[in-house]
């Protein structure tokens, strides 16, 4: 799996002012559903929150990878977000989060889901990349940096 297979420039959001986990997941559910016919924001949000109830997707070091399976989803969808200010996210290290990669996966794509999560964890463990993402000021640059890493 290549990052550009699941991430498009229109799903990169740089320095957004969202201030809570609930607001982040609500907004991204709405933004993604606007781009895909047949995907409703409420079930997507509910699935993301249900996954968070199982355990935070905050990986530590300011990184979170919220993810879920969604009915009516036909392809793996990624969205990269940086926050204007770090926000509490119940991350495993207790630190606030400011970089998120949201992953929405079709219900039946279990193997691809695991592969995508592993790729993202590897990518976002690169401290230099995360530093650069945090300094980036445009959606387009955020996309370009992510897919060339």
Supply the residues annotated as catalytic: 67
Judging by DSSP bridges, how do beta strands 63-64 and 77-87 pair with one another? Answer: unpaired
Ranges of beta strands (E only) in 1-149 are: 7-16, 58-60, 63-64, 67-70, 77-87, 97-106
Nearest to 123 by CA among 89, 140, 99, 97: 99
C-alpha 108: how far from chain center? 20
Which residue in 25, 9, 100 sits closest to 70, CA to CA? 25
State how far the Cα of 24 lies from the Cα of 19, in Å rounded to an integer: 7
């Amino acid at each position: 799996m290549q990052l550009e297979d699941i991430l498009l420039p229109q799903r990169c959001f740089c320095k957004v002012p969202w201030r809570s986990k609930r607001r982040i997941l609500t907004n991204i559910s709405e933004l993604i559903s606007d781009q895909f016919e047949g995907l409703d924001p409420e079930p997507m949000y509910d699935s993301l929150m249900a996954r968070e109830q199982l355990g935070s997707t905050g990986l530590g070091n300011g990184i979170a990878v919220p993810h879920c399976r969604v009915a009516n989803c036909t392809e793996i969808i990624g969205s990269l977000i940086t926050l204007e200010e770090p926000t509490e996210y119940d991350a495993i290290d207790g630190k606030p989060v400011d970089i998120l990669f949201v992953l929405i996966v079709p219900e039946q794509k279990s193997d691809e889901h695991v592969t995508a999560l592993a790729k993202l964890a590897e990518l976002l463990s690169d401290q230099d990349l995360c530093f650069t993402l945090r300094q980036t000021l445009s959606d387009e640059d955020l996309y370009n940096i992510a897919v060339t890493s």
